[in-house]
Structure 1
Amino acid sequence: MRVIVMGAGVIGVTTAYYLARGGAEVVVLDRQAGPGLETSYANAGELSYGMTSPWAAPGVPLKALKWLFMKRRPLFIWPLISPTMWMWGLQMLGNCNDESYRLNKGRMVRISNYSRDVMPELIAETGIEYDGREQGTLQLFRTAKQMKDSRADQEILAEYDSPYEVLGRDACIEAEPALAEVRNKFVGGLRLTADRTGDCRMFTIALAEKCAEMGVEFQYGQSIRAIAVENGRIAGVDTEIAGRITGDRYVCALGSYGPKILNPIGVKLPVYPVKGYSVTLPVTDDAFAPQSTIMDETHKVAITRLGDRIRVAGTAEIAGYSNRLGPHATNTVKHVISDLFPRGGDISKAEGWTGLRPMTPDGTPVLGPSRYDNLYLNTGHGTLGWTMACGSGRAVADQVLGKTPEIDFEGLTAARYG
């Protein structure tokens, strides 16, 4: 069986790996010059199993209004003349209730927990290095109200068997010693002990090399013009340089750009790009640097240790497909690292980056079959592509190969959108 995978980010590459491991002949297409050069390039570095939740939650609309008036706000919305954007936003608002939140979270956790369980097996099989650590995530609360409000999250974590610890100020410092320097800036935290960290792009590059050794063919610099349909089936992928590339089955793992080629063939997914920012800076003193991931609850910014570097990521900007990195775009993430770890890294050497997260209005990615029997989907992971990559890649590959996946696909497919 010859399978064409569209997209060489972490989702596309993990899918290709499991397809090749299952005996398929695999071709991966990507417009970039190598793997992991778009959304996978410089994300937060969190493998957020404990923090797997939809953005659409009760109370979020009110919080979003407050965020818009913060000096260093975590959310920007540019009112574009875009029916797609406004429809997506209305669908998201429709999911901001208790019933939808629990349903969507349950679906997301199903993928996340599966990914958590299968990733160690992939690492053992391949031996790849990716600056990985297994020291959890510390959600840091600057106010007593944030600490109190986290009780609702604790109940949900307990419901889904996600291990956690509620920490006072001193216990937070025990987990992250460098926070002793700023102990007056927070009151406590919630530590998610099953979370891991790692460089997503380093992982994607290393796994792509393993895939190539297994016979996977990577065709870079191949911009996809369209998906060709003949007689009710996918007949090939039309590229700008190589022309039509054909296979027996096809997987779309194009993230935010998936709708651009899926909509014309009648596969209409509510996946919309939400822009995020990060900076990466060198560690200057290990004693004053983070050891794992700290999530600043106030600014919604994650600070993650990746080897001898620190990655700081956050901000949600709804601005269509803009990839512009403006001169002040990373001010918020730079403020947070300077505020919490002032002696940990060299902010003067911070490298800025921006990428588009493929978000669905309900938070759950779109996996598995489409209206065409030889086209499969693996997209819409939002901020959790790195977290869910191994699980969704393996589960979708099993479907493509005609195997029964190890997780239930109910509520994960495009069928939930009618």
Structure 2
Amino acid sequence: MKTVSGARIAVAGAGALGLATALRLARMGFAVTVFEPAAPGDNASGVAAGMLAPVSEALFDPLSSAHLALMRRARDLWPDFAEDLGVELARTGVRLEGAETWRARIAERLTTLGLPDQETISEDWRIEARPALARLRDAILAAGGRFEAVAVEAFAPGELRRADGGAEVFDILVLATGPGARDGRLAPETAILAPIKGQILRATPVDEAVEVVRGEGVYLAPGERVAIGATMEVGRDDLSPDASATQGLRAAAWALRPALDLDAAQVEVGVRVTTPDGLPLVGWSRSPGVILAVGARRNGWLLAPLVANMVAAYVTGDNPGPDAVAMDARRFEEPET
């Protein structure tokens, strides 16, 4: 399907995937509106530590270990993407700290991935998530895009129905809503998605570290408030802080930095969604006029520029690139007999 410039495109979801995609399409001349009922930054992308860390993900998330090459390709799009937005790209790396037995296990995993044992993973980067979301919003507005603080209730080419009862005319819906997409109502492929609740602690720093520190069961990301994360509570989609779920996180953080005042730490909660293989659904749905860009697990920020480019290619009928098969939106469908 090829869509002419100027077509009306709705983007449901204002996280990293949704905003990066909206910006790409708006700059190509499409009339883009982003639908998001939550306040700006009040989503999983805003809660995130902003990691752009293909090696760390491959090391510590079993579902991501097979996708290292793809994640590296996504990360390599970030220097130009960040420069264009005026977003600071921290390339200070991820330092590994922990007991000798844990470090030995990490060394084995690095070898399995074809990487040398190293104290600092220099090719893993990060951004500050909330400022990046704000820059994306500003860039979308500057490119002529719009924002509507309401959810999408239903869609068919030519008519989008809003949750407040209103209706608008759109040619395409890009579905990037994360947990809001899982019921299959807007696209049947989303029924495969599973929620993951993540809790991050924000605490006063106790040192002047500039790199992320990764230990057993925890990471510490520097900033005005150090981000300590993150829980991975599979199957949970509530946004309530849960002290019992963060006990292990607190213990792991104290093991690395005993001086941290975690009793006074702020708790932030986000819900991500994942596919069975850990890669997002990207491409045309069986629902007419719907393109999926959802299900990035912990890697929404890392994959955002890549997914945005792929969606733009689907819209214009161009080649979506070498990662189209791995992230195909319909790859979990049962084969027809």
Runs of 4+ that moved beyond 6 A: none
Mapping for residues 341-352 of structure 1, pairs under 5 Å: 341-343=257-259, 345-352=260-267
The one of the two structures with greater contact order (alpha-carbon pairs below 8 A, sep at least 6) is: 1
Structure 2 contact 12–18 (Cα < 8 Å) conserved = yes
| Aligned partner of residue 275 in structure 1, secondary structure | strand
Over 3 Å counting, the alpha-carbon distance change for 1:265 and 1:8 in structure 2 is: closer
TM-score, length basis structure 2: 0.87
Q: 1:54 to 1:193 in 2, by over 3 A?
A: closer
Distance 1:151 1:20 in 2: 45
Aligned positions of 1:226-237 closer than 5 A = 227-229=154-156, 234-237=157-160
* Amino acid in structure 2 at the alignment position of 1:194: E
* Per-residue deviation, 1:235: 4.1
Following the alignment from structure 1 to structure 2, what is the Cα–Cα distance between the partners of residues 251 and 55?
31
Contact 1:137/1:293 (<8 A) preserved = yes
Contact conserved, 1:50 with 1:194, CA < 8 A, in 2? yes
- Residue 53 of structure 1 corresponds to 58
Distance 1:110 1:18 in 2: 23
Partner of 2:240: 324
Which residue, 113, 116, 120 being the options, matches 2:72? 113
Where structure 1 has 5 or more consecutive residues not aligned to the other structure, the ranges are 58-100, 159-163, 173-190
The residue type paired with residue 337 of structure 1 is A
The Cα RMSD (Å) is 2.5
User: Which residue of structure 1 lines up, in the alignment, with residue 15 of structure 2?
Assistant: 9
Paired amino acid for 1:277: Q
**Corresponding residue of 1:18:** 24
Match in the other structure for 1:224: 152
The separation in 2 between residues aligned to 1:411 and 1:329, in whole angstroms, is 33
**TM-score, normalised via structure 1 length:** 0.71
Separation (CA, whole Å) in 2 of partners of 1:322 and 1:409: 32
1:195 aligns with 2:124: yes
Contact 1:54 1:364 (C-alpha < 8 Å) held by counterparts:
no
1:381 to 296, 299, 321: 296
Larger Rg computed on CA atoms: 1
**Is 2:112 the partner of 1:155?**
yes
Q: How far does residue 386 in structure 1 lie from its aligned partner after superposition?
A: 1.6
Distance 2:243 2:170 in 1: 44
Q: 2:255 aligns with which of 334, 339, 343?
A: 339
Q: Measure the CA separation in 1 of the matches of 2:281 and 2:146.
A: 25
State which of 286, 291, 294 in structure 1 corresponds to 2:210. Answer: 291
Q: Secondary structure of 2:173's match?
A: strand
SS of equivalent to 1:51 = helix
Contact 2:204–2:225 (Cα < 8 Å) also in 1: yes
Find 2:284's aligned residue among 351, 369, 389: 369
Q: For residues 269-280 of structure 1, what are the structure 2 equivalents within 5 Å?
A: 269-280=191-202
Paired residue secondary structure (1:109): helix
Say how many residue pairs are matched: 327
| Aligned-partner SS, 1:416 | coil
**Structure 2 residue 51 is matched with structure 1 residue 37:** no
Secondary structure of 1:357's partner?
strand
Contact 2:9 2:173 (C-alpha < 8 Å) held by counterparts: yes
Give the Cα–Cα distance (whole angstroms) in 1 for the partners of residues 39 and 193 of structure 2.
25
The question of whether the paired residues in 2 share the 8 Å contact of 1:22 and 1:401 is answered with no
- Flag the 1:264–1:285 CA change in 2: closer, same or farther, 3 A: closer
1:56-88 Cα shifts (integer Å, max 9, x gaps): 84xxxxxxxxxxxxxxxxxxxxxxxxxxxxxxx
| 1:377-416 equivalence runs, <5 A | 377-416=292-331
> Shift in Å at residue 396 of structure 1?
1.6
Would the aligned equivalents of 2:93 and 2:211 in 1 still touch at CA under 8 Å?
yes
Offset at 1:196? 0.5
- 1:55, CA displacement in angstroms? 7.9
1:137 Cα offset (Å) = 1.6
Q: Matches of 2:201 and 2:187 in 1, distance apart? A: 38
* Match status 1:246 vs 2:169: yes
Unaligned runs of 5+ in 2: 1-6
Whether the 8 Å contact between 1:256 and 1:359 is mirrored in structure 2 is: no
Distance change in 2, residues 1:149/1:118 (3 Å): closer
Contact 1:10 1:204 in 2 (8 A): yes
Counterpart residue number, 2:4: none
